[in-house]
Amino acid sequence: MNEVFDWGGVWDAMPAMLDGLVVALQATLIGYVIALILGLAFALLRRSGSRWVSMPVGFVVEFIRSTPLLVQLFFFFYVLPLIGVSVSPLATGAFALGLHYATYTSEVYRSGIDGVPPGQWEAARALNFSRRRTWTAIILPQAIPRVVPALANYVIAMFKDTPQLLAITVVEMLGAAVAIGSETFRYSEPVAAAGLVYLVVALVMAWLARIVERRFGQVRV
Amino acid sequence: MTGEDFITFEGVHKAFGKNVVLDDLSFSVKSGERVTLIGPSGSGKTTILRMLMTLTRPDRGVIGVDGDYLYHEKRGDELLPASEAHIRKVRQRITMVFQHFNLFPNMKVLRNVTEAPIHVLGKSKDEARERGKELLEMVGLGDKLNAHPSQLSGGQQQRVAIARALAVDPDVLLLDEVTSALDPEIAAEVLDVLRDIAKTTDTTMLCVTHAMKFARDVSHRVLMFNEGGIIEDGSPEKLFNEPEHERTQAFLRSVIDET
């Protein structure tokens, strides 16, 4: 009985772990949508002509990016209820994850926007497009396809960060594995199984990202 | 052929760092006039077009377009820096064709031409498409409406860019070395298109080019630039046949073999 691995109990643990996987995927998906939208908003606000907008937003973005996700998770978990926002730990976790990664995606968007040739801005001006139309019809449709591969990779990074949600009582897959361990006093198998599932899901995501990249990442010049 | 002063530069000054590109420049262009700006590179010709297109701000001086100031608003007797809305309103009358075409690669050819009429001028889609097709037909690209810009040659792209510029019904058309990025043969095709346009419209044109034959054919007036100012201003016949200034003579000798 002293072997490190005894896989007998793992199959019994599978339903709980799959529930955990669903939670992890939910957090990733919701967080990712937040990161995509908020990241773009950050990137655009940092380019605002008004320094009263671009500077504070820049500060907030740098601040969030330079502090650990775990700290932000605890912060929102304990502070949101104080200001009257009571949402589930999963929602809090997905939001914190999305906000944290929005600071990374905003940099990705920025590099895409910087990659649009100056001649495109000049042509937009020569045809007298409004700022809004310049962004929505000319700049972003060229900037975003360039960064689709980089954006797609962040899904995987976010998925791998979901175990941190355990800190705010969200039982995702690793949490489920540890819970099983605490009942059976065997941790190695469920934790190893969780690791394996993470690997498989991450590989599937990487494969999907590659497909998305091939489909949308083409830029016509 | 010509009417009132339509574009006026008064005491316009521009320096990039220590390099003074335009030094206290004043000149005017009448409505319907076609003016070619010639001179050695770095003499400020392109900067003038870019200022009119509000791509480069003058350091000092005022630029007028049909009674309005491009960068200033009149409040009583005072000239104040113009709001973005004011600049947009005045800029509406001007458009520009660029050396490197600058078509929108994310739009097909026809949409490149119809996008501004629909979303800036507020024309209906049908009207804009109809007119867009007409213009593309005129520049010889009636069969490329659904092509992507990347599928076109340089000469074709530039002809689309010309159609795109005409589609916004400009009062002033700025042509910034529109054939400099093209092979001579292709450049000739593009210039032929522009010759036709010059013949059939009364659009005011300011043209920076090294194509001297074209300049001679289409312009009413030629301005010779050197070291931040205009050193000679006259009809193409006068300026090309009997240039007064030594610098003009030397410049023309150096470019005369070209188209």
What does the domain layout of chain A look like in residue ranges?
Answer: 10-216
Q: At what angle do helices B125-138 and B154-166 cross, to 10 degrees?
A: 130
* B34 beta partners: B205
Whole-number pLDDT of residue B136: 96
> Residue B168: which of A122, A127, A141 has the nearest Cβ?
A127
Q: Give A81-99 pLDDT, tens digit per residue.
A: 898 888 899 999 999 999 9
Nearest-Cα distance to chain B for A34, in Å, is 26
Answer whether residue A8 shows pLDDT above 80.
no
- Per-residue model confidence as pLDDT tens digits over A51-71: 999 999 999 999 999 999 999
Domain parsing of chain B, residue ranges: 1-93+173-180+203-259, 99-169
pLDDT, mean of residues A112-133: 96
Torsional sign, CA B137, B141, B142, B146: negative
Q: In the predicted model, is pLDDT for residue A20 greater than 70?
A: yes
Q: Which residue in B76, B54, B11 sits closest to B174, CA to CA?
A: B54
Pick B1-93+173-180+203-259's CATH classification: 3.50.50.60, 3.40.50.300, 3.40.50.1470, 1.20.1250.20: 3.40.50.300
Q: CB-CB: which of B55, B106, B150 is closest to A122?
A: B55
Please give the angle made by the CA atoms of B46, B49 and B51, to the nearest 5 degrees: 110
Instruction: Using the predicted structure, report yes or no on whether residue B160 has a pLDDT greater than 80.
Output: yes
CATH class, range A10-216? mainly alpha
Name the minimum distance, in Å, from the CA of B157 to any CA of chain A: 12
pLDDT for A142-192, tens place per residue?
Answer: 999 989 988 988 999 999 999 999 888 888 888 888 888 888 787 888 888
Q: How confident is the model at residue A9 (pLDDT cuts 50, 70, 90)?
A: low
The answer, yes or no, to whether residue A2 has pLDDT greater than 60, is no
The ipTM, to two decimals, is: 0.93
**Residue A221 pLDDT grade (very low, low, confident, very high; cuts 50, 70, 90):** very low
Q: Which residue out of B119, B150, B175 would a mutagenesis test of the A interface target, given it has the greatest number of A Cβ atoms within 10 Å?
A: B119
Query: From the list A127, A141, A221, which residue is nearest B95 (CB)?
Result: A127
Written as one letter, the residue type at B10 is: E
* Paired residues of B5 in beta bridges: B30
pLDDT at B259: 46
